Structure 1
Amino acid sequence: MVVGELAHEKDLVIIGGGPGGYHAAIRAAQLGKDVTLIERDQLGGICLNKGCIPSKVMAHGAERLMAAKQDAMLGIESSGLHFEIQKLRSYKDQVVKQLRDGVEALCKANKIEIVKGSAFFLSDDKIGVENEDSYEVYRFNEAIIATGGTPVNLDGVPGTDERIIDIWSIADLAEVPENFIVLGNDCIALEMAMAFQAFGSDVTLVLNEGKEGFSFDSSINRELNRVLKKSGISIVKGFSFVGVKLTEEAVTVKLEGSKGHKTVEGSHLFYSLGVKPQIDHLGLDRLGMKRSADGFILTDQTGRTSIERIFAIGDITEGPQLAVKAIKQGKVAAETICGRPSEYDLTFIPHIARTLPPIACAGLTEQEAELQGYEVGVGEFSMSANGFATILGKKEGLVKVVFDKESDLLLGVHLIGNGAVELISNGIQALEMAARDEDIKFPSYPHPSINEALLEAVEAFKGEAIHCVPKKQKMKV
Structure 2
Amino acid sequence: MVVGDIATGTEVVVIGAGPGGYVAAIRAAQLGLDTTLIEKDAYGGTCLNYGCIPSKALVTASDVAHAAREAEEMGIHADPAVDMKGMVSWKDGVVDQLTSGVEKLCKANGVNLVEGTAEFADENKVRVAHGGDGQGSESIEFEHAIVSTGSRPVQIPNFEFDGEYVLSSRDALALDTLPESLVVVGAGYIGMELGTVFAKLGTDVTVVEMLDSALPGYEDDVARIVRDRAEELGIEFHFGEAAKDWERSGDGITVRTEDGDGTVSEFGAEKVLVAVGRTPVTDTVNLEAAGVETDERGFVPTDDRARTNVEHVYAIGDVAGEPMLAHKAMKEGQVAAEVIAGEPSALDYQSVPAAVFTDPEIGTVGMTEAEADEAGFEPVVGQMPMRASGRALTMNESDGFVRIVADGPSGFVLGAQVVAPEASELIAELTLAVEMGATLEDVAATIHVHPTLSEAVMEAAENAEGQAIHTLNR
Q: TM tier, shorter chain?
A: over 0.9
- Once residues 74 and 252 of structure 1 are traced to their aligned partners in structure 2, the CA distance between those partners, rounded to angstroms, is 40
Q: Note the C-alpha offset of 1:91.
A: 0.5
Aligned to 1:252: 254
| 1:243 pairs with 2:242 | no
Aligned to 1:118: 117
Q: Structure 1 residues 161 and 99 mapped into 2: Cα distance closer, same or farther (>3 Å)?
A: closer
- Once residues 197 and 340 of structure 1 are traced to their aligned partners in structure 2, the CA distance between those partners, rounded to angstroms, is 49
Aligned to 2:30: 30
- Give, as a single letter, the amino acid of the residue that structure 2 aligns with 1:9: G
Out of 137, 141, 144, the residue aligned to residue 143 of structure 2 is 141
- Once residues 342 and 433 of structure 1 are traced to their aligned partners in structure 2, the CA distance between those partners, rounded to angstroms, is 17
The two structures have a TM-score, normalised by structure 1, of 0.93
Aligned to 1:298: 301
- Once residues 417 and 377 of structure 2 are traced to their aligned partners in structure 1, the CA distance between those partners, rounded to angstroms, is 18
Q: Structure 1 residues 295 and 176 mapped into 2: Cα distance closer, same or farther (>3 Å)?
A: same
Aligned to 1:19: 19
| 1:396 pairs with 2:395 | no
- Give, as a single letter, the amino acid of the residue that structure 2 aligns with 1:122: A
- Once residues 5 and 107 of structure 2 are traced to their aligned partners in structure 1, the CA distance between those partners, rounded to angstroms, is 30
| 1:88 pairs with 2:97 | no
Q: Note the C-alpha offset of 1:237.
A: 1.2
Aligned to 2:57: 57
Structure 2 counterparts to residues 150-165 of structure 1, below 5 A: 150-160=152-162, 162-165=164-167
Conservation of the 8 A alpha-carbon contact between 2:20 and 2:331? yes
Conservation of the 8 A alpha-carbon contact between 1:207 and 1:213? no
- Once residues 414 and 122 of structure 1 are traced to their aligned partners in structure 2, the CA distance between those partners, rounded to angstroms, is 46
Identity %: 36
- Once residues 246 and 5 of structure 1 are traced to their aligned partners in structure 2, the CA distance between those partners, rounded to angstroms, is 48
Aligned to 1:273: 276
| 1:361 pairs with 2:364 | yes
- Once residues 274 and 457 of structure 2 are traced to their aligned partners in structure 1, the CA distance between those partners, rounded to angstroms, is 34
Conservation of the 8 A alpha-carbon contact between 2:161 and 2:168? no
Q: Note the C-alpha offset of 1:158.
A: 4.0
- Give, as a single letter, the amino acid of the residue that structure 2 aligns with 1:58: L
Aligned to 2:203: 201
The two structures have a TM-score, normalised by structure 2, of 0.93
Aligned to 1:410: 413
Conservation of the 8 A alpha-carbon contact between 1:205 and 1:234? yes
Structure 2 counterparts to residues 41-52 of structure 1, below 5 A: 41-52=41-52
Aligned to 1:456: 459
Q: Structure 1 residues 82 and 11 mapped into 2: Cα distance closer, same or farther (>3 Å)?
A: same
Q: Structure 1 residues 396 and 171 mapped into 2: Cα distance closer, same or farther (>3 Å)?
A: same
Q: Note the C-alpha offset of 1:213.
A: 5.5
Conservation of the 8 A alpha-carbon contact between 1:126 and 1:140? yes
| 1:264 pairs with 2:276 | no
Conservation of the 8 A alpha-carbon contact between 1:28 and 1:335? yes
- 1:252-281 deviation digits (Å, cap 9, x = unpaired): 222222354233322221121221111212
Conservation of the 8 A alpha-carbon contact between 1:209 and 1:241? no
- 1:151-178 deviation digits (Å, cap 9, x = unpaired): 1112112433612111121111122222
Q: Give unmatched runs, 5+ long, in structure 1.
A: none
- Give, as a single letter, the amino acid of the residue that structure 1 aligns with 2:241: F
- Give, as a single letter, the amino acid of the residue that structure 2 aligns with 1:128: R
- Give, as a single letter, the amino acid of the residue that structure 2 aligns with 1:100: T
- Once residues 393 and 211 of structure 2 are traced to their aligned partners in structure 1, the CA distance between those partners, rounded to angstroms, is 38
Conservation of the 8 A alpha-carbon contact between 2:214 and 2:223? no
Aligned to 1:129: 128
- Once residues 456 and 171 of structure 1 are traced to their aligned partners in structure 2, the CA distance between those partners, rounded to angstroms, is 38
Q: Structure 1 residues 212 and 87 mapped into 2: Cα distance closer, same or farther (>3 Å)?
A: closer
Out of 216, 219, 222, the residue aligned to residue 217 of structure 1 is 219
- Once residues 126 and 161 of structure 1 are traced to their aligned partners in structure 2, the CA distance between those partners, rounded to angstroms, is 36
Q: Structure 1 residues 462 and 24 mapped into 2: Cα distance closer, same or farther (>3 Å)?
A: same
Aligned to 1:344: 347
Runs of 4 or more above 6 Å deviation: none
- Give, as a single letter, the amino acid of the residue that structure 2 aligns with 1:156: N
Q: Note the C-alpha offset of 1:210.
A: 5.2
Aligned to 1:101: 100
Q: Structure 1 residues 210 and 441 mapped into 2: Cα distance closer, same or farther (>3 Å)?
A: closer
- Give, as a single letter, the amino acid of the residue that structure 2 aligns with 1:130: A
- 1:389-433 deviation digits (Å, cap 9, x = unpaired): 112222122111222334333222111111211110000010112
- Give, as a single letter, the amino acid of the residue that structure 1 aligns with 2:103: E
- 1:123-180 deviation digits (Å, cap 9, x = unpaired): 1111111114311111111111111111111211243361211112111112222222
Structure 2 counterparts to residues 434-445 of structure 1, below 5 A: 434-445=437-448
- Once residues 250 and 345 of structure 2 are traced to their aligned partners in structure 1, the CA distance between those partners, rounded to angstroms, is 56
SS of the residue 1:413 aligns to = strand
Aligned to 2:317: 314
Q: Note the C-alpha offset of 1:222.
A: 2.7
- Once residues 160 and 276 of structure 2 are traced to their aligned partners in structure 1, the CA distance between those partners, rounded to angstroms, is 16
Aligned to 2:292: 289
Q: Give unmatched runs, 5+ long, in structure 2.
A: none
- 1:223-245 deviation digits (Å, cap 9, x = unpaired): 22322232222111122222223
Q: Structure 1 residues 125 and 447 mapped into 2: Cα distance closer, same or farther (>3 Å)?
A: same
- Once residues 444 and 370 of structure 2 are traced to their aligned partners in structure 1, the CA distance between those partners, rounded to angstroms, is 24
- Once residues 215 and 96 of structure 2 are traced to their aligned partners in structure 1, the CA distance between those partners, rounded to angstroms, is 37
- Once residues 360 and 87 of structure 2 are traced to their aligned partners in structure 1, the CA distance between those partners, rounded to angstroms, is 20
Conservation of the 8 A alpha-carbon contact between 1:7 and 1:138? yes
Q: Structure 1 residues 5 and 111 mapped into 2: Cα distance closer, same or farther (>3 Å)?
A: closer
